[in-house]
Amino acid sequence: MTNGWPDIQHADMILVMGGNAAEAHPCGFKWVTEAMEHRKAKFVVVDPRFTRSAAIADFYAPIRVGTDITFLGGVINYLLSKGKIHEEYVRNYTNAPFLINGDFSFKDGLFSGYDESKRSYDKKSWTYQMGADGFAQVDMTMKDPRCVYQLMKSHFSRYTPEKVSQICGTPKEAFLKVAEMMSETSRPDKVMTILYALGWTQHSHGAQNIRTMAMIQMLLGNVGRPGGGVNALRGHANVQGITDMCAYSEVLSGYMLSPMESDDTREQYLKVRTPKALRPGSMNFPQNFPKWNTSLMKAYYGNNATKENDFGYHYLPKRDGQYDILANFERMAQGQVNGLICQGFNPLAALPNKNKLGKALANLKYMVVIDPLKTESAEFWKNFGEMNNAKPEDIKTEVIRLPSTCFAEDPGTFTSSGRVIQWHWAAGDAPGEAKTDREITGTLFTKIRDLYKKEGGKGREPLMAIKWDYSSGTNPPAEEVTKEISGRALVDIKDPKTGAVLFKAGEHLPGFGVLRDDGTTECGNWIYGGCWSQVGNLTARRNNSDEGGMGNHLGWGYSWPANRRVLYNRAGVTPDGKPWDPKRPGIQWDGTKWAGIDVPDIAPALGPSTGAGPFIMNPEGVGRFFAPAMAEGPFPEHYEPFETPVGKNLMHPNHPKVTSNPCSRVYKADAATFGKADEFPYAATTYRLTEHFHFWTKHAQSNAVTQPQPFVEIGEALAKEKGIKNGDMVRVWSNRGQVKAVASVTKRIRPMTVNGKPLHHVGIPIHWGLVGVAKNGFLANELTPYVADANSHTPEFKAFLVNIAKV
Amino acid sequence: MATAQTMNIVNRSATTAPMPVKSNPDIAVAKLIDESKCIGCKACQVACMQWNDNRDEIGSTVGVYDNPADLTTKSWTVMRFNEVERADGGLDWLIRKDGCMHCEDPGCLKACPAPGAIVKYENGIVDFVKDNCIGCGYCVAGCPFNVPRISKDDHKAYKCTLCSDRVAQGEGAACAKSCPTKAIRFGKKKDLVEWANNRVKDLKERGYQNAGLYNPQGVGGTHVMYVLRHSDKPEAYNGLPSDPQISPTVNMWKGVTKTVLSWGMGVAVLAGLAHYFIKGPKEVDEKGHDA
């Protein structure tokens, strides 16, 4: 979330799209009802289904799965063609005035530079026009035909209300009503927030779904403002923490991209990740990348990371390809992986195309499952009849289970969707032999390192180099790990000008602002810098006083970065530093420095006259409508899901190569499993229910009582067509697998008219599986396709094709 | 937190002794369920199960979100989901938390032939006293909302207690405490009526012209009230009666019991009455048991 949970109460309008906040985030959803009750906020839901969120919304509009870019692109066109934008914001805080390279173009669904054989772009034309002064060129009138504003206007002019209705199946009047309601917040005294979740991420164009919304929020001037922002509601209590701490193979802690094989040297690695400012006065905060990275290397390798050995750069693995989770399971399916450690991860249920996953796991020599609960993954080799038709006698994989603790049996931190890191204490002891994840990891590490010490082996050197100086190597205390993440001085840190000692050796540092690139500081995750300062464990703070009256609660936990509650809050004020809406203050320029009731998202002294833009993580200093970092284009474009009920991209009906995202990676074997609409005529989507939490709570009786058994949802029209009655057992199948479940026939899913023809949706809640106290059933991912977003590699769980029949 | 309450009994089943009967408006409590803020998350159901240490059976799905499908002796509150097409082509998904309404004029208490099996406290809460219950099921017939359920195991009647045990200690109802959107509020009835009126005003401004407070006078008002967006048609909320009344047969039966009791019904009944006369109005301890 750019803003925190309590901040939702300041919104004048709340859009829930690409998510179902009432269902999946009922506790945080209270801020929506608070805004409705106390601010008279309007609440709008756009979803293929009439959800529990929609049940209390002021307005609901239906949309076909996988067409959000079209809907939102239509909103952009509405705002630009009607002039309903926050112009001062757009001019000053975004790259709308920036001039783009004359070679950049868009034609027939493709941007300039596409290489079909690589399914990727050569982005050399996706650049700003650069001046002789080394800065990007701008036209502040935004009239130059090559400026981003004009290119954007032209790009989205194709997204007419008629086109939106044709592609999305949303009635034109409903679309216009939503667009009109959103456009009202272009006024500086009105703010809209957007709450989304996996309904936007789990698409082959998920990142662009979110980007399109971010563009709308910038056009309306809603980013950086109390009650505004772009707010991702995360799916676990600590999934934000997982992402922050690099539990992914392609990034290091704090979103630092890990090295590629092409990054021969540390110098090269740092160079390509340390940008130069693109506009005069730009704060260009990523210029500090070497400080964050060096401090991380010191946390990893301690005294074994020295200036002489490039701070241990050679210890880090260098990626020779893609190592996201789908790439890894593809390798496993190809028989290229020996072992797998699943720690708090249930891939047989959590990744797409279960049958492929089961076969991949059978190719392993061993699998270690570290989990507090019995998982499907640990049972993949067992025969559960047609729900898992494995042949144990043919599977050689050795499965080792290490029972771990639940969060309430272990101290540590959670990081909420709102980026607030909060310490939690163990509430009880774990049953039986269960050990904490830290103890399991620490013991494994110690034993493996001892074995390498004795016996040697490939990769020995990095393993020996790791700093592991916890008071217990086999059971590192959570407090010590948190301190290491937060950062400390390794020697006395002096002011380079005066020579005065700023921090003594061993002291906890107050934040990432004082990190050094010379090896004198360590920090396990720069964005968490300062969460454990000399004052103590700031994540354990529980002061709920509300100084400023805006619900910032700066004394509660520690919100990364720098305990800031609203990101980009410099954009929440006018160029000369006054809140856009004085009734909803954040920060303001007091004549000498930035001050206010939140931590300013800009250097305190960088006042309005310096020209420093509010989006300090971009070298431009401004937000990007034109974003070359995206894989499939600097502007979002509609592409169909890989399984499309329409069969073509209605934006480019004569260009079959751009039917679906031209940059998504498709493995050969998977391409053959994609179904077509003639055989699988119904658009399907998977989702969560409020009664359950992923695949965990099917083990808990209370949850199982309230939602006991697998079901699928279909509309009345489709049910009538298929002779299905409410409560009947049905079979739903895709080109990959099947589920059998109880049919819920509902008015909440209605047929849509897409491209002039009726289209039915089938809704498939997840949550049930092979084990648990709830009634067992098929894993929903029997059905889903093994294809993902081109940027994040998040699987396309939210849009695919199925057929259905009564059993 | 409210202060601990003395749970003085103002009405008692099958008892002829003169009693105040009516709750005391100065201390009367209530639960207000604002349907316009309810997202049907069932946190209240789970809180109810856990506070009262009830675990219902893991049942089946019958094609709707209602689980358990009905009130049971172990599920004292359930969410009722109703899909209603609007005249304008839109849809309402009406979600109502069902359970005991704690009527000011409780039909169950009137119908109950067992002395002291059903009591009403000065704060308006209607409670079942298990030890006195004879499992006859007359309370079921007496209830205009079809709430009490008789256990097949111990042949006793069960329903929501409005957390009388918690209230006695100054706490609100467990369901209200667990409700993430504050759709359920617990407090003094007069405060909640005022709150409800403000909610109704807001809903009318949002276009719900028929929004209103459900506090039916046919049963003397209730200590569980609803704010409904469509208060003109409460039946749409899974058959919530628009004008609930105690069945005439129950009122007649009440007359009979009075007569019978005045003749003396037996030792057990007399003993119960004696208890009342000697010890005075009952109080409950924190577990909800008779003190």
**Measured between alpha carbons, how far apart are the two ends of chain A, in Å?**
44
Strand partners, A342: A369
Enumerate the residues of chain A whose CB falls inside 8 A of the CB of residue B65: 707, 744
A64 to chain B nearest CA, in Å? 17
Q: How would you write the pLDDT of chain B (291 residues) with one tens digit per residue? A: 456 777 899 999 999 889 999 999 999 999 999 999 999 999 999 999 999 999 999 999 999 999 999 999 999 999 999 999 999 999 999 999 999 999 999 999 999 999 999 999 999 999 999 999 999 999 999 999 999 999 999 999 999 999 999 999 999 999 999 999 999 999 999 999 999 999 999 999 999 999 999 999 999 999 999 999 999 999 999 999 999 999 888 877 665 555 454 444 444 444 444 444 444 444 444 443 433
CA within 13 Å, CB half, A577 = 21
Q: Does B95 touch chain A (CB under 8 A)?
A: yes
Burial A287-320 (b: 16+ CB within 10 A, else e): eebbbbbbbbbbbbbbebbeeeebbbbebbeebe
Return the structure tokens found at A632: 């499939």
* Mean model confidence pLDDT for chain A: 97
The shortest CB-CB distance from A55 to any of B61, B95, B202 is to: B95
Angle at A603 between CA A600 and CA A608, to 5 degrees: 85
Q: Is A33–B37 a contact, with Cβ atoms under 8 angstroms apart?
A: yes
Compute the distance between CA of residue A519 and CA of residue A293 in angstroms, rounded to an integer.
10
Residue with tokens 């969410």: B79
Enumerate the residues of chain A whose CB falls inside 8 A of the CB of residue B67: 691, 705-708
Cα diameter, chain A: 84
The pLDDT of residue A116 is above 70: yes
Strand partners, A508: A488
Q: Is A335 exposed, middle or buried (0-12, 13-18, 19+ CB in 10 A)?
A: exposed
- Name the CA dihedral angle for A14, A20, A22, A27, rounded to a multiple of 10 degrees: -90
Chain A: residue nearest B195 by CA?
Answer: A37
Q: Does A727 touch chain B (CB under 8 A)?
A: yes
Chain A: residue nearest B66 by CA?
Answer: A706
The reported pLDDT for the residue numbered B5 is 77
The shortest CB-CB distance from A52 to any of B36, B40, B205 is to: B40
Return the structure tokens found at A21: 């906040």
Return the structure tokens found at A365: 């020599």
A673 to chain B nearest CA, in Å? 30
Q: Does A516 touch chain B (CB under 8 A)?
A: no
Which site among B36, B73, B93 would you substitute to test the A interface, given the most A Cβ atoms closer than 10 Å to its Cβ? B93
Q: Does A177 touch chain B (CB under 8 A)?
A: no
Q: Does A303 touch chain B (CB under 8 A)?
A: no
Q: Is A60–B56 a contact, with Cβ atoms under 8 angstroms apart?
A: no
Return the structure tokens found at B7: 């749970």
The predicted-structure confidence for A27-79, as pLDDT tens digits, reads as follows: 999 999 999 999 999 999 999 999 999 999 999 999 999 999 999 999 999 99
Contacts of the segment B150-158: beta carbons below 8 A, 24+ positions apart? B150/B73, B151/B73, B153/B73, B156/B73, B156/B128, B156/B130, B157/B108, B157/B117, B157/B128, B157/B133, B158/B73, B158/B74, B158/B76, B158/B128
A169 to chain B nearest CA, in Å? 16
Query: 3-class DSSP state for residue A657?
Result: helix
The one-letter amino acid code at B281 reads: P
Compute the distance between CA of residue A203 and CA of residue A94 in angstroms, rounded to an integer.
27
Compute the distance between CA of residue A277 and CA of residue A283 in angstroms, rounded to an integer.
7
Q: Does B236 touch chain A (CB under 8 A)?
A: no
The one-letter amino acid code at B288 reads: G
Which helix (H) or strand (E) element contains residue A330? helix A325-333
The pLDDT of residue A552 is above 50: yes
DSSP string, B173-227: -HHHHH-TTS-EEEEEHHHHHHHHHHHHHHHHHTT-TT-EEE--GGGT-BSEEEE
Enumerate the residues of chain B whose CB falls inside 8 A of the CB of residue A23: 39, 41
Residues 6+ apart with CB under 8 A from A660: A204, A639, A640, A641, A642, A644, A649
CA A516 vs. chain centroid, Å, equals: 29
The reported pLDDT for the residue numbered B6 is 76
Enumerate the residues of chain A whose CB falls inside 8 A of the CB of residue B71: none
Phi-psi region of A401 (alpha: psi -120 to 50; beta: other; left: phi over 0): beta
Which residues, numbered 39 to 58 in chain B, qualify as contacts with chain A under a Cβ-Cβ cut-off of 8 Å? 39-43, 45-46, 49-50, 55-58
Q: Is A55–B36 a contact, with Cβ atoms under 8 angstroms apart?
A: no
Strand partners, A738: A733
Q: Does A58 touch chain B (CB under 8 A)?
A: yes
Q: Is the dihedral of CA B225, B227, B232, B233 positive or negative?
A: negative
Percent of chain A beyond pLDDT 90? 99
B31 to chain A nearest CA, in Å? 18
Q: Does A701 touch chain B (CB under 8 A)?
A: yes
CATH number listed for the domain at residues B9-279? 3.30.70.20
Q: Is A37–B199 a contact, with Cβ atoms under 8 angstroms apart?
A: yes
Enumerate the residues of chain B whose CB falls inside 8 A of the CB of residue A58: 206-207
Q: Is B205–A40 a contact, with Cβ atoms under 8 angstroms apart?
A: yes
Q: Which has the closest alpha carbon to B44: B177, B149, B162?
A: B177
Q: Does A33 touch chain B (CB under 8 A)?
A: yes
Asked if residues A140 and A623 have their Cβ atoms less than 8 Å apart, the reply is no
Q: What is the 3-class SS of A208-232, one letter each residue?
A: HHHHHHHHHHHHCCCCCCCCCCEEE
Mean pLDDT across the stretch A446-465? Answer: 96
Q: Does B90 touch chain A (CB under 8 A)?
A: yes
Compute the distance between CA of residue B166 and CA of residue B186 in angstroms, rounded to an integer.
12
Enumerate the residues of chain B whose CB falls inside 8 A of the CB of residue A16: none
Compute the distance between CA of residue A395 and CA of residue A365 in angstroms, rounded to an integer.
10
A710 to chain B nearest CA, in Å? 8
Q: Is B67–A54 a contact, with Cβ atoms under 8 angstroms apart?
A: no
DSSP string, A399-467: EEEEEB--GGGS-EEEE-TT-EEEEE---SPPSTT-B-HHHHHHHHHHHHHHHHHHH--TTHHHHHHS-
Compute the distance between CA of residue B273 and CA of residue A693 in angstroms, rounded to an integer.
52
The shortest CB-CB distance from A22 to any of B39, B58, B59 is to: B39
Mean pLDDT across the stretch A589-613? Answer: 96
The reported pLDDT for the residue numbered B53 is 97
Q: Is B39–A50 a contact, with Cβ atoms under 8 angstroms apart?
A: no
Q: Tell me how far CA of residue B74 lies from CA of B31, B107, B148, B152, in angstroms.
A: 20, 22, 11, 12
Compute the distance between CA of residue A365 and CA of residue B196 in angstroms, rounded to an integer.
64
B155 to chain A nearest CA, in Å? 23
The pLDDT of residue A662 is above 60: yes
Domains of chain A listed by start with CATH number? 1-97+158-235+567-615 (3.40.228.10), 325-412+431-465 (3.40.50.740), 656-806 (2.40.40.20)
DSSP string, A161-176: HHHHHHHH---HHHHH
The shortest CB-CB distance from B58 to any of A50, A55, A774 is to: A774
Tally of CB atoms within 10 A around A746: 23
The shortest CB-CB distance from B46 to any of A30, A37, A702 is to: A702
Residue with tokens 């995202």: A661
Which residues, numbered 656 to 695 in chain A, qualify as contacts with chain B under a Cβ-Cβ cut-off of 8 Å? 690-691
At A352, phi and psi to the nearest 5?
-80, 160
Mean pLDDT across the stretch A136-164? Answer: 98
Asked if residues A297 and A312 have their Cβ atoms less than 8 Å apart, the reply is yes
Q: Is B42–A23 a contact, with Cβ atoms under 8 angstroms apart?
A: no
CA within 13 Å, CB half, A671 = 6
The reported pLDDT for the residue numbered B263 is 47
Compute the distance between CA of residue B7 and CA of residue B5 in angstroms, rounded to an integer.
6
Asked if residues A224 and A614 have their Cβ atoms less than 8 Å apart, the reply is yes
Chain A: residue nearest B35 by CA?
Answer: A56
Angle at A147 between CA A191 and CA A651, to 5 degrees: 75
Chain A: residue nearest B206 by CA?
Answer: A58
CA A384 vs. chain centroid, Å, equals: 34
Which helix (H) or strand (E) element contains residue A533? strand A532-533
B82 to chain A nearest CA, in Å? 10
Q: Does A173 touch chain B (CB under 8 A)?
A: no
Asked if residues B275 and B291 have their Cβ atoms less than 8 Å apart, the reply is no
Q: Which has the closest alpha carbon to A135: A143, A124, A127?
A: A127
Q: Tell me how far CA of residue B245 lies from CA of A41, A603, B111, B125, B217, in angstroms.
A: 39, 69, 13, 18, 9
Q: Is B67–A774 a contact, with Cβ atoms under 8 angstroms apart?
A: no
Enumerate the residues of chain B whose CB falls inside 8 A of the CB of residue A704: 58
The one-letter amino acid code at A478 reads: A
The predicted-structure confidence for A302-357, as pLDDT tens digits, reads as follows: 999 999 999 999 999 999 999 999 999 999 999 999 999 999 999 999 999 999 99
Query: 3-class DSSP state for residue B81?
Result: strand
The one-letter amino acid code at A353 reads: N
Q: Is A708–B45 a contact, with Cβ atoms under 8 angstroms apart?
A: no
Domain spans of chain B? 9-279
The reported pLDDT for the residue numbered B255 is 58
Tally of CB atoms within 10 A around A776: 18
The pLDDT of residue A400 is above 80: yes
The reported pLDDT for the residue numbered B257 is 54
A59 to chain B nearest CA, in Å? 9
The predicted-structure confidence for B154-198, as pLDDT tens digits, reads as follows: 999 999 999 999 999 999 999 999 999 999 999 999 999 999 999
Residue with tokens 């992986």: A337
